Amino acid sequence: SYNYWWVTSVAMGLMVGILTRHWFFNPDLYGRQQESRKPMPDRHRQWAYSLPYFNHRMRNLSGKYRWCMIDNEPDWADFHPIGYRPNRKAIHRRPWMWCFTVPRYAIEDPLYTSVTHENMNRIYEEIGYSKKPYYLQSEEDEA
């Protein structure tokens, strides 16, 4: 009967993991009283942010077009310093069907290089607002 104990333990562990995932990341579940009376525009905003939770293929397809959708620092999540995942790269063109507010190619956008995450960090470091991350510091920066 020990094999039934193991099966039950694994099933309970999976149940706790799945329910915890839904509780924390599914926007249709509300644990607080104030969230049960949210106006509809806020719910639409929540549902829009939850699309990658429900559809991983959509996340992978839309992630390369961040430069078209995000005005300030669209590449903030592209570089991974520890290397758990490959560094991401934006696609060179805009989406073909619905996004006409940006130039056709990223290289044609005159403000793209000035609003990148790398450029903003450089500006903040020059004015003394922030320091370089520890993995980019040299011996001269530490002094």
pLDDT digits (tens, 9 = 90+) for 104-126: 998 898 888 899 998 999 999 99
Instruction: Quick: pLDDT tens for 22-75.
Output: 888 877 776 666 666 666 666 676 677 666 666 777 777 778 888 888 888 888
Contact 102, 94 (CB under 8 A): yes
How many whole angstroms separate alpha carbon 117 and alpha carbon 77?
A: 9
- Say which amino acid occupies 18: I
Percent of the chain whose predicted confidence (pLDDT) is above 70: 80
How many whole angstroms separate alpha carbon 82 and alpha carbon 95?
A: 30
- Say whether pLDDT at 90 is over 60: yes
How many whole angstroms separate alpha carbon 31 and alpha carbon 25?
A: 11
